[in-house]
Each structure stands twice: as C-alpha cells, then as structure tokens.
Structure 1
Amino acid sequence: MSNDQNKTDVILIGAGIMSATLGSMLRELEPDWNIKVFERLEGAGKESSNEWNNAGTGHSSLCELNYTNEKADGTMDITKAIKVNEEYQISKQFWAYLVNRNLLTNPRDFIMPLPHMSFVWGDDNVAFLKKRFDALLAHPLFIGMEYSDDPKQLEEWIPLMMKDRENKQSLAATKIDTGTDVNFGALTRKLFDHLEAEQVDVHYKHNVDNLSRTNDGWDVKVRNLATGKAEHHEAKFVFIGSGGGSLHLLQKSGIPEGKGVGGFPVSGLFMVCENPEIVEQHHAKVYGKAPVGAPPMSVPHLDTRLIDKKESLFFGPFAGFSPKFLKTGKMTDLLTSVKMDNLLTMLSAGAKNMSLTKYLINQVMLSKEQRMEALREFVPNAKSDDWKLVVAGQRVQVIRDTDEGKGTLKFGTEVVSSDDGSIAALLGASPGASTAVSVMLEVLAKCYPDHIQKWEPKLKEMIPSYGVPLSENPELINEIHRTTAESLNLDPAE
C-alpha cells in the first residue's frame, strides 16, 4: 500500500458509540473527507457500548438522584441535572435527524419509551426526594414528573417492588413517562452500518500500536491482528475513542495535555432475571439512593431492558475490581498506565480514596446471597434461582490534579485534546453514551474552530437547539420533545 493510499483526513480509533457518533457527524458536515476507523475487536460496539456492558439508561436526570444534591442551606442544587438532561436532548435530536433522513431505520431497535422512577425509603430520604421533586418540577425540562408516598399508588406504579413489602418505614417515589431505555450496542452497530454504506473505511481486528507526530498531523501505526502485519497511516486529525484503552493511547501520543492524567478501573456486575412471569410485573427504570460513602456510579437501580427483542430485568450495579482497562484488556493495564508524570497524582488519589478502596473490596467479597439481600430491598420476594450474575463492562475513572487538589478522582466524561486540535481523546465514564452527541460537539469546537462558523447551518439542521440553552426556552423544549418523540417512535402508548 502506497503512502498516498495511507493518507487520510480523519482516523477514528475504536468502534464504539463515540467514534460512531463523531464519524456520522463528520460525514454530514464534510461528505468529501476521507475517514478511517480502526477497531481491535471483530465488530462494532463490542466493549463499553455493548448492551450487556452498560445499564442502557438514557441519562436525563429524571431518576438519577446523584445528579442533584442538597446544599448546606437546605436548598436543592439541580444544576448538574439540568446539564445532563440538556445533553441528552441533543443526542435525541441528532438521532431523530438521522431517522428522518432514513440514515437510521427502525428506531425501536435501539430506543424505547420507559418510565423513569426514583424510589426511596426512610424519613430523611423521603424528605430529600420530595425536595428534589419540587425543585425539578419547577423547571420546564422536567414537566410531567409525579410524586407519591401513598403505598396504594406505589403498588400501581411498581407492583413487583411493592409485593410482600412490610410497610414499617416511609416510602416515596417519583415517576415520569418520558424516560427511555437505549440499546447503545444496537445503535452503534446501526451507525457503523451507515458509515460503511457512506464509504467510510472501517477496519476490524486492527490494533493501534503507536502514534507519532508528523508535519501535517499524525502517523498511526496499526497492526492487522489476523496477519500480524504492521501498517502506517497518516491523518490530519485523530480521535481516540477506545473506552478504557484511550488512556494508554493518549500517553503514547506524548501531547502535554495528557501528562499527569491517570485512571482507575472499576468493573460492574448486574443481577439479571429472564423469567417472563417476573419480568412482566415490572416496567420501568427505578433508581434508588446510593449508600452513604458509596461512589456515584454505585446508585442501585432495577431496570426493564429490551435486548434482542426480549425483555429482562437488570439490578445493580455491584462494583468489581480488575486491573484491566477493558473487559477484553490485559491484567497489566493499570500497572503500565502509571508513568513518572502521573505517579504522584495516582498515589495521592489512592491516599485520598481509601473509602472507595474499602467499598470495592467489600463489593468484590459479596456472595450471591448477599447480593440477593441488596436486591430484596427493591424486590422483597426475589428468589435466587430466578436471578443470575452478569459481568458488565470496565470503566476507567479519570484521575488528575484539579483545583480541588492533587489526585482528584473524577466521575464523568472528559475530552483531552492537543493545543493545535490535531488529536483528541475521550476519557471517563457515566453519563458517557447518553451525552455522545454533546461531547462530540465539544470535540468539533476544540479541534475544528476554523470550521464551526461554516458548519453552523448544518449543525442547526442536525440539532435544532444547537447554540441555544434549552433552560431559557420552554417553547423550544416542548417542540423538541414533540418532534423527537414522533421521529423516534417514543409514544409510551404504542
């Protein structure tokens, strides 16, 4: 293969939801650009984006209690809840655009309407939930949310969770019917089918071994895992969207912006029930409140999931630990990510997060029956024979020095890019996939600042709310809710 054949405009590393989203957006914005994708596994959406490796929640703060917090003065801070919700509205608009243009078909294959609920017990938690409900209901993004502490009403909303429950303590729940369950694996595969139909050059079973700067971008060393042959590809722009594998590649790039960044892997486990008699008794995503001292990603929830056109129930997540950065990664991943420039940061994080370490150890040591006891707080009559343990994906939490101090463990999604915009890497975890379109807009703004003005009309066509804060435009919120629900077939009555 000649050097000219190996030159391209864009290289996307990893065939997950993030690369799929960025590739699809660039195809609309610059249809003449050449794009190549390299993925070390045999297909798209096999790692973090896979439907069995995440909870499938369309994160929009409708039920996730960790996106709101009570301030010292007793008021409820909903700033993050608004931000996460707005980001998810951006994703839905882009998906609707693709469906309307027949670039994606059969949206029910990847998204379905599903009530989102919060459920708590105990006087303090009930008071918190009521205060949260009052604060959210006053905002136009959360219109339609209901609250109840009436056991009879709760029996109608969540019969499986209320059956055989001893009402010795106060209970309460909120419910909103505009929530969604998203099969990010199916969505990723559909997007890559679209990209390949649009002549994007996708290479599976190809591992990126190294990256180095050139005069006009980057040289990417790629190894064909089937033949063992190494190739060099040059690109003006490189996006590293390989989940837990992004940190190692960011380090290999050598860009100053990646110095001092570390990562800590946390695996997830779910209890799964596929017994139809039980599954049919529950139809919602129901999030609880994380135990005191537990990290944000440990919020327990009982979810209806639709995978391969079959409904099941997921409960979790339970945290696990593996030094791998990917489910299909290496046991040496954590060790080899420690460099001289992030050693002190990693050590500081370890010293500051002893409670997390203790929590992970306790979680790893749980027996199945102990996990069943946690499940029975949601489903009192749950029987062990009806539930199996499924190991979900690996998530690498970002560790870096911030204004909060050295070695801060960050729970969220971050983009790290070079000062010249020629390379960007996505790090972090939840809410991740739900905010893919918003995150890719950030990548475009950082890495193509000279193109944004030219792209603006197309971006507004793809995302009608582009550049407009939804919080300040109730009428636009209503219009977006209506049009995306129509395009994505999200009418709960259907």
Structure 2
Amino acid sequence: MSKIQNKTDVILIGAGAMSATLGALLKELAPEWEVKVFEKLASAGEESSNEWNNAGTGHAALCELNYTSEKSDGSIDISKAIKINEQFQLSRQFWSYLVNSNLIRNPQDFIMPIPHMSFVQGEKNVAFLKKRFEALTDNPLFQGMEYSDDPDKLMEWIPLIMEGRTSNEPIAATKIDSGTDVNFGALTRMLFEHLKSRDVEINYKHSVEDIKRTGDGLWEVKVHDLELGKTTYHTAKFVFIGGGGGSLPLLQKTGIPESKHIGGFPVSGLFMVCNNPEVVEQHHAKVYGKAKVGAPPMSVPHLDTRYIDNKKTLLFGPFAGFSPKFLKTGSNFDLISSVKPNNVITMLAAGVKEMALTKYLIQQVLLSNEKRMEELREFIPNAQSKDWKIVAAGQRVQVIKDTEAGKGTLQFGTEVVSAADGSIAALLGASPGASTAVHVMLEVLEKCFPEYMMEWEQKIKEMIPSYGVSLAENPEFFEEIHSSTAQTLGLNVKELAYN
C-alpha cells in the first residue's frame, strides 16, 4: 500500500523563537505560501525559548564581556560587539513592525527596559573594563554608557551587590540604561498565535521521525502523531529545522553533504532564583561578570532582574552541568547516537582539545548548594540560602566542526547549515540565539531564497529599515531607529527608583 503524501510549500520543525520568526517573516513576504509547523511538545516555546530556560537578556553586547576581547597589543577588539548590537537592532525593528501593524499586541508582555551592567573585581579586570568602556563609547551604538570605580557611585547603582562588601580589592562597573529584558517564551507564543491567525497549520504533539529527499526534489518529512499514534508523510519545497538541541540529529537524517563532520556537545544549566520580594526590590539591572578560566562563554555569571508573568524576579547563574540529552525533554542516548562515521574523528578531536572545558563541567556538576551560595556571595555578599532556590535551565548543544583552526573546534555561537540548493536549512548552536533571531532568519532567506530577494527587498526594508545598512556608520539613522523602536516597544519608561 503506497503512503499518502501531504504537499505543502514550507515545513517548519520546532515551535521555538526561530521557527516563529521565520514563519512571521515568510507570511509577510509570501502570504500565499502554505506553511506547516510540527512540534513534539504540547505548546510553543517550551524548550530553549521558554522564559525559564534562558537568561532573558536582549543580547546587544552592552554588558557581555565575552563579546569584546583584548588583543595582544592591549587594545580592545569591539568588532563582535558592534555586530551583535546591530543584529539585535534588527530584532527590535521587526518586533516594532509587528506591533505597529497590530499583528502582535502588548509589547510590555515580552520586553521591558532594564539597565545592562558589567561588573569586575581585581586590578587587571578593572583595567580591562575601563579600556573596554573607552573603546565602546567612541561608537554611536554604545552612547550613554557610564563607567565608575567609585564605591559610592556603585552603591547607588547596585546596592544589593555592594552591601556588606569588605574586600579592598579594586572593583568597577559600566552601566547603560538602554538594555532590555526579553521574555522569549511570551514572544514565541504571541508569534505562533499570529501565525495561526494567518492560516499556518500548527501541529503540536507531533514528532518528526525522518527527513529524506524524494525523486522529484522535494523533502519528505515523516511525522508521528503522539496522541493518535499514527504516522503521516508531508512533502515540501523548503524545510527549516529549528528544533534547538534536536536540530543536529534531524540534520544528520537529511544526508546532505553540509551535515557531515559536524557534532554537538550538550551543556545543561541551572539558575538560582530569589524568592524573597524584599531582596528582589533592591536590585534593578542585568549585571554580567567575567567567565572563569576554562568556562564556556554561556557560563558567564550574571545577576538578572527578570520580568516573568508580569512579576519581577531575580536570577543568578548559570551553573553549567553535563547531561547527554540534547533537549530537556530529550533522551540520554542523544549524544552517543549523534556520533556517526563521518563525525567521529571531529568529536574525538574536540574531546582532546577541550580538556579545560571538560574539567570545568565536572567541577560544576559536583558543586554543592553551599558552594553555589559561595559563588553567589561573590556578587551578593549578604546572600542568605533561605532566599534562593535552584531551577533547571535549558539544554544547549554547542556545535563542533572542522575549521581552519583545526579538527573538532568547539563553536560558541549560532550557525545556519543549509543545502547547496537552499531547499533545507537547520539552525545549530546557542547564544546569542533568540536575541538575533531576525538577523539569523534573514540569513536563511538570503541563503535559501536568493531568487526572491530582489522582489522581497522593499517589503523587508519596510519591516526592518536598517536592512543592509551599517547603523554604526550611520549614527543619525541609528538614533532615529533606536528612538522609534523604543517608543513602539515601550522602552522609554524611566527606570524604577532603587528602594
């Protein structure tokens, strides 16, 4: 008996922020295209996009020290910081377009203004932070940033961090008020509600089991309905694999040459959450420190004011851990089953090269609650164990691939892997992730639909005015864009006064 194939134009695998963004862009650019979404879980935004599974930082390199490196001559390389900031501006513009067009509403439900700060201790780190501040403030994207090593000023900025600090060690911080807290879970759910209203077929509790090329050049996706227990087959001209940690195994099933020699290393995370409202009210900022030696960039310690379910809360972390699962809801066999003949050498090479990371993860896994409290007290000297509880954050799969730097190089970023003909694409990697979703999905459109880009360009520029333009090199345009998006998204609200 032959299987019935359900034809469509576009299939999106995974109902996270990336698929939501791509779906929303396509529905503006090609509204007549038929789009289907398949998600294994019961609702949208439940894995990496969920508000409890990420830091909720609108990553714009305002406070993240790992986006600015010190060169051998002592100067600071800010090129990556400029790139990340420009990418976040694209997201702000697209979200503003959606709000102004009444396609999504109530932006305060997913984005809030919050100062972004960097905080360092020790003479060497203070010197680095001052040089970083001087390098960034020469650039229009970072105007408004302040620097201080004055304890009285720091007490004004971050009383919770300064109270009870007895060490004579030099400390310093930078502060910029234009930072944001983003609830990516809420945003993802809003976008899928919008897609549903645009006749996108969204199938929850549907697990994608296989992807293969058909004789006529389409992609056939084998889907298992977890509720009814039946299997269906769907074909499409274009497939996007946006399944977070689950993307790598599905990419491997496609068999495309671009999927070879790529591996993944899963890193889990924990946050400490403050449950004492009196403590929460003493802090109003996202404060990022420096990563420990051997730690991956995603493990930079930070103390964050968060807005979740319209409630202000405080998170500290993340503490890294190891689990062989590629998703929180994944299998303990995910890692071992991702090792294939074509990537085993790549994976082994990474194992040899990343001994420092392995040692760091082992140390993190073995941390007791009291040891975690000790790390928290480096930020909040008076922290009390009774005020904090542990929550499990999301799983992240770091990409391992062969690069010019050698075999088995661990990649700390977000990466699109697509077939040469653009008929299928997968998103791999972690931070800065959802903050730069619009930039990443524009990259998918450019790679996979080059024949449509000229036709779409005018509409893209209507949605994202700075598309194709360097804001860093056009300060007046940046000021105009930044002001208008702040107005639309409600980011001009004066920051709350410290208690």
Q: TM-score range by the shorter chain?
A: over 0.9
- Secondary structure of the residue aligned to 2:469 is coil
Q: Does 1:204 align with 2:241?
A: no
Once residues 322 and 208 of structure 1 are traced to their aligned partners in structure 2, the CA distance between those partners, rounded to angstroms, is 22
- Secondary structure of the residue aligned to 1:493 is coil
Q: Does 1:47 align with 2:47?
A: yes
Which residue does 2:60 correspond to in 1?
Answer: 60
Contact 1:326 1:394 in 2 (8 A): yes
Which residue does 2:142 correspond to in 1?
Answer: 142
Which residue does 1:228 correspond to in 2?
Answer: 229
The 5-angstrom pairing of residues 264-303 of structure 1 reads: 264-303=265-304
- Secondary structure of the residue aligned to 1:396 is strand
Q: Deviations over 1:129-155 (max 9, x none)?
A: 000000000000000000001100000
Aligned length in residues? 493
State the 1:4 CA deviation. Answer: 8.7
Which residue does 2:448 correspond to in 1?
Answer: 447
Name the stretch that deviates more: 46-55 or 167-176: 167-176
Which residue does 1:131 correspond to in 2?
Answer: 131
State the 1:470 CA deviation. Answer: 1.3
Q: Deviations over 1:235-279 (max 9, x none)?
A: 000000000000000000000000010000000110110211000
State the 1:293 CA deviation. Answer: 2.5
Which residue does 1:162 correspond to in 2?
Answer: 162
Which residue does 1:489 correspond to in 2?
Answer: 490
Which residue does 2:409 correspond to in 1?
Answer: 408
Counterpart amino acid of 2:453?
A: I
Contact 2:12 2:242 in 1 (8 A): yes
Name the stretch that deviates more: 331-340 or 159-168: 159-168
State the 1:427 CA deviation. Answer: 0.1
The 5-angstrom pairing of residues 243-254 of structure 1 reads: 243-254=244-255
- Secondary structure of the residue aligned to 1:471 is coil
Q: Deviations over 1:205-225 (max 9, x none)?
A: 000000111213201100100
State the 1:472 CA deviation. Answer: 1.1
Q: Does 1:310 align with 2:316?
A: no
Once residues 321 and 115 of structure 1 are traced to their aligned partners in structure 2, the CA distance between those partners, rounded to angstroms, is 31
Which residue does 1:171 correspond to in 2?
Answer: 171
The 5-angstrom pairing of residues 381-392 of structure 1 reads: 381-392=382-393
Which residue does 2:262 correspond to in 1?
Answer: 261
Q: Does 1:322 align with 2:320?
A: no
Which residue does 2:195 correspond to in 1?
Answer: 195
- Secondary structure of the residue aligned to 2:166 is coil
Counterpart amino acid of 2:230?
A: K
Once residues 286 and 139 of structure 1 are traced to their aligned partners in structure 2, the CA distance between those partners, rounded to angstroms, is 21
State the 1:3 CA deviation. Answer: 8.5
Once residues 229 and 126 of structure 2 are traced to their aligned partners in structure 1, the CA distance between those partners, rounded to angstroms, is 59
- Secondary structure of the residue aligned to 1:11 is strand
Contact 1:39 1:203 in 2 (8 A): yes
Contact 1:118 1:173 in 2 (8 A): yes
Counterpart amino acid of 2:324?
A: P
Which residue does 1:239 correspond to in 2?
Answer: 240
Q: Deviations over 1:21-73 (max 9, x none)?
A: 00000000000000000000000000000000000000000000000011001
Contact 1:211 1:221 in 2 (8 A): yes
Which residue does 1:181 correspond to in 2?
Answer: 181
Counterpart amino acid of 1:380?
A: P
Which residue does 1:87 correspond to in 2?
Answer: 87
Alignment gaps of 5+ in structure 1:
none
Contact 1:177 1:492 in 2 (8 A): no
Name the stretch that deviates more: 212-221 or 318-327: 212-221
Q: Once superposed, which parts of structure 1, at least 4 consecutive aligned residues long, lie more than 3 Å away?
A: 2-5
Counterpart amino acid of 1:11?
A: I
Once residues 23 and 6 of structure 1 are traced to their aligned partners in structure 2, the CA distance between those partners, rounded to angstroms, is 19
Once residues 44 and 92 of structure 2 are traced to their aligned partners in structure 1, the CA distance between those partners, rounded to angstroms, is 21
Once residues 418 and 482 of structure 2 are traced to their aligned partners in structure 1, the CA distance between those partners, rounded to angstroms, is 33
Counterpart amino acid of 1:117?
A: M
Q: Deviations over 1:402-447 (max 9, x none)?
A: 0000000000000000001000000000000100000000000000
State the 1:493 CA deviation. Answer: 1.2
- Secondary structure of the residue aligned to 2:175 is strand
Q: Does 1:422 align with 2:447?
A: no
The 5-angstrom pairing of residues 343-354 of structure 1 reads: 343-354=344-355
Name the stretch that deviates more: 324-333 or 5-14: 5-14
- Secondary structure of the residue aligned to 1:454 is helix
- Secondary structure of the residue aligned to 2:451 is coil
Once residues 411 and 492 of structure 1 are traced to their aligned partners in structure 2, the CA distance between those partners, rounded to angstroms, is 34
Once residues 260 and 111 of structure 1 are traced to their aligned partners in structure 2, the CA distance between those partners, rounded to angstroms, is 38
Q: Deviations over 1:254-312 (max 9, x none)?
A: 00000010000000110110211000000000000112222211110000011011111
Contact 1:274 1:311 in 2 (8 A): no
Contact 2:52 2:393 in 1 (8 A): yes
Contact 1:13 1:37 in 2 (8 A): yes
Contact 2:4 2:233 in 1 (8 A): no
State the 1:185 CA deviation. Answer: 0.1
The 5-angstrom pairing of residues 343-382 of structure 1 reads: 343-382=344-383
- Secondary structure of the residue aligned to 1:472 is coil
Contact 1:122 1:169 in 2 (8 A): yes
- Secondary structure of the residue aligned to 1:393 is coil
The 5-angstrom pairing of residues 3-22 of structure 1 reads: 6-22=6-22
Which residue does 1:29 correspond to in 2?
Answer: 29
Alignment gaps of 5+ in structure 2:
none
Counterpart amino acid of 2:35?
A: I
State the 1:167 CA deviation. Answer: 4.2
Once residues 142 and 3 of structure 1 are traced to their aligned partners in structure 2, the CA distance between those partners, rounded to angstroms, is 57
Name the stretch that deviates more: 289-298 or 343-352: 289-298
Counterpart amino acid of 2:124?
A: D
- Secondary structure of the residue aligned to 2:294 is coil
Counterpart amino acid of 2:447?
A: K
Once residues 244 and 133 of structure 1 are traced to their aligned partners in structure 2, the CA distance between those partners, rounded to angstroms, is 35
Counterpart amino acid of 2:141?
A: L
Aligned-pair identity in percent equals 71
Counterpart amino acid of 1:336?
A: S
Instruction: Please give the TM-score of this superposition, normalised by the length of structure 2.
Output: 0.98
